[in-house]
Amino acid sequence: LQRMLSIAVEVDKSPNCSSCRIADVIFPFVLNIPLRSQREAFLNTMESQLLRCKVLELLFQHSCDVPTTLPLSLAKILYFLSHSSVLLQYQDETATWQRWDEMLQYLSLLLMSYQNVILAFPLADHLRSSLNDRMDLIIQKAKPKLQDGDDISHLDIQLKIEDFISRMQQVLEQPFPLQIMEKLCMLR
């Protein structure tokens, strides 16, 4: 399935558009995956980083009280940190902190996938270009195009992390589990 989804993204003239269409179709099914381990297995095995970004972006947009119209960028990922609630409906008696832990796990996965699509290596941005156009971009040694929202400061990050911590403390009303602090450090 993952290989077929990756090919479906790649063969389109606009991988960005095809990944949006495929993510729109997949998203309701992701919402109905009952166990965290199954959701993580599905998301972690996605071969297309671009498709993973789109699915996770939809997941976070769904969990925000006030969805944003920002394009996917580092600023939007920080927005998700500040405005997302527990992502999915749980059928079992999962502790609240474990739900937030899952949200932070997916936010880190979104950040890593986004970096792979945009920032990680010189030809990464070409994942959003068609296969035919990629060769020209590679030959021209074109630089990746950053989004306007990719210019964030360390202060922006620190403020959003502190805001998240205070929100978590209000919700949990107990000491922070170590796993949450580790994920926040990793995300930072």
**Tokens linked to 128:** 């959003």
* pTM listed for this prediction: 0.81
Alpha helices in 64-145 (DSSP H): 74-83, 96-114, 131-140
Residue 90: the pLDDT is 55
Cα separation, 162 vs 63, whole angstroms: 20
The number of CA neighbours under 13 Å toward the Cβ of 4 is 3
Cα separation, 114 vs 185, whole angstroms: 18
Find all residues with CB under 8 Å of 9, minimum gap 6, and list them.
15, 18, 19, 22, 48, 50, 51
Q: Sorting pLDDT into bands at 50, 70 and 90, what band is 124?
A: very low
Bridge partners of 64, per DSSP, are: 84
Would the pLDDT of 53 be above 90?
A: yes
